[in-house]
Amino acid sequence: MVGLIVAIYEVGCFFGSILTAIVGEQLGRRKSIGGGVIIMIIGALLQATSYSRAQMIVARIVAGIGMGAINSTIPVLQAEFSPKATRGICKSPHLKLLFTVELINISRLRSAEYPQLWNLFRLLDRLRLLLPHQ
């Protein structure tokens, strides 16, 4: 069950990127990113307040949809607006955000194995809301 809860986030990311590929051109890049951020915040709040497995699974899917929308739109926006010489520098903060989210996911997996770490997991999940999105 722990593997499902961890992996279902990636399924949400897949559906979020597919949804953005379909609707993103009509909405525009900025609105697609803004919508993804709002969906991601809703998913993070649902995860932080979840008390059952079913609620956590739904929250992970919702957060994944938001992250999929963000991750499929930001690189395109950066490529359009960044000068050639600074494209790598502009991409670096986005990769740091992805790395931080993966660290939070790993801590989530460890907290499921050790119940005493549950409060640490919830704290890390709430701190994710404070991370700046691009």
Give 5-44 pLDDT, tens digit per residue.
888 888 999 999 999 999 988 998 889 999 999 999 999 9
Q: Is 133 in contact with 70 (CB distance < 8 Å)? A: yes
Compute the radius of gyration of the chain from its Cα atoms.
15
2-130, CATH topology level: Growth Hormone; Chain: A; (1.20.1250)
119 — pLDDT class (breaks 50, 70, 90) = low
DSSP character string of 24-52 = HHHH-HHHHHHHHHHHHHHHHHHHHT--S
Q: Average pLDDT of the chain?
A: 80
